[in-house]
Amino acid sequence: MTLARSRRSPAKPRKRPLQERSRETVRVILEAAARIFEERGVAAATTDAIAERAGVSVGSLYQYFPNKESLLATLAACHVLDARVAIEPALAGLDAATPFDVALRRFVHAMVALHTTRPRLHRALFDEALDDTESIRALLALRTEICTRPAGWLAQRPEVRLDDPPLAARLAVDALTTLAHGFALDGRAGSSAADRETEMGILLRRYFTAMP
C-alpha cells in the first residue's frame, strides 16, 4: 500500500457540526461520499455528485468539507476508529487462557470481517494513498497494534514453533488482509466465507506450529 503522493489542497474539514441537525447533515454527506467513492472510484468522484446524492446543495457541502480530499480524510478517520472497535475483542482473546485454535479462529474471523466490510470503500480510502498525515498515522498505529499483540501471544504459546514471532505476526496480518481483499472483490469466488476462513485458519496454524 502506497502512503505518499503529490501534495493536494488541504484535507481538513472546514468546521465541526455542533447541533444535531448539522451532525445529521454531515452524516448524510459522508455516506453519500462513501457510496460515490465505492461506485465511481476517487478519481471520478466530484463534490457536485456527492452533494446531489446527499440531497444537499454544493454550498452546504462546502460549509463542512472544502474538497473531496477532506471527505476522504474524514471517512478514513471514521474507518480506523470503527476498525479498532471491531478488532479489539479478537485481540483481547489472544491470551493464555483461551485454547490456541479458538483464539486463532476468532482472530482470523475478525480480520476477514474487518477487510470485507465495504471492501470497495476500504480500497478507495487506503489504496488511493490519502495525502493526510493524521489518517496515515492512525492507520499505521492500528496496523502496528494488530501485529504487536498477536506477536506477544505467539511468543507465549507452547504450540508455536517460530524463531521470530513479531515477523510471523506481521506476515500473518498481511496475508489475511490480502486474502480477505481478494475474496471480497472477486465475485467469481465460489467458496463460502466460512470455508475461506477455515482454510485461512489451517494455513496459519500450520505456519505457526509446523504441524499438519
Output the nine-digit C-alpha cell for 204: 496459519
**pLDDT at 101 exceeding the cut of 70:** yes
Q: Which CATH architecture has domain 69-209?
A: Orthogonal Bundle (1.10)
% of the chain surpassing 70 pLDDT: 83
* pLDDT tens-place string over residues 16-25: 655 667 889 9
DSSP string for residues in 120-138: HHHHHHHTTT-S-HHHHHH
Name the one residue in this structure whose C-alpha cell is 455528485.
Answer: 49
* Greatest mean pLDDT among 14-18, 79-83, 183-187: 79-83
Kindly tell me if the per-residue pLDDT of 181 is higher than 50: yes
Domain boundaries, the chain: 20-68, 69-209
CATH code: domain 20-68 is 1.10.10.60
pLDDT > 50? residue 108: yes
**What does the alpha-carbon distance between residue 37 and residue 50 come to, in Å, rounded to a whole number?**
9
Helix 100-116 × helix 68-92 angle, to 10° = 170
Distance CA 47, CA 122 (A): 19
Q: Residues 104, 153: contact at Cβ < 8 Å? A: no
Query: Is-above-0.85 flag for pTM?
Result: no
Mean pLDDT of the chain: 84
How does residue 132 score in pLDDT terms, banded at 50, 70 and 90? low
Contact 11, 72 (CB under 8 A): yes
State the alpha helices, DSSP H only, in the chain.
20-40, 47-54, 58-64, 68-92, 100-116, 119-126, 133-156, 165-185, 193-209
Written as one letter, the residue type at 93 is: G
The residues near 63 (Cβ < 8 Å, ≥ 6 apart) are 14, 15
Contact predicate 168/155, CB 8 Å:
no
Read off the amino acid at residue 152. G
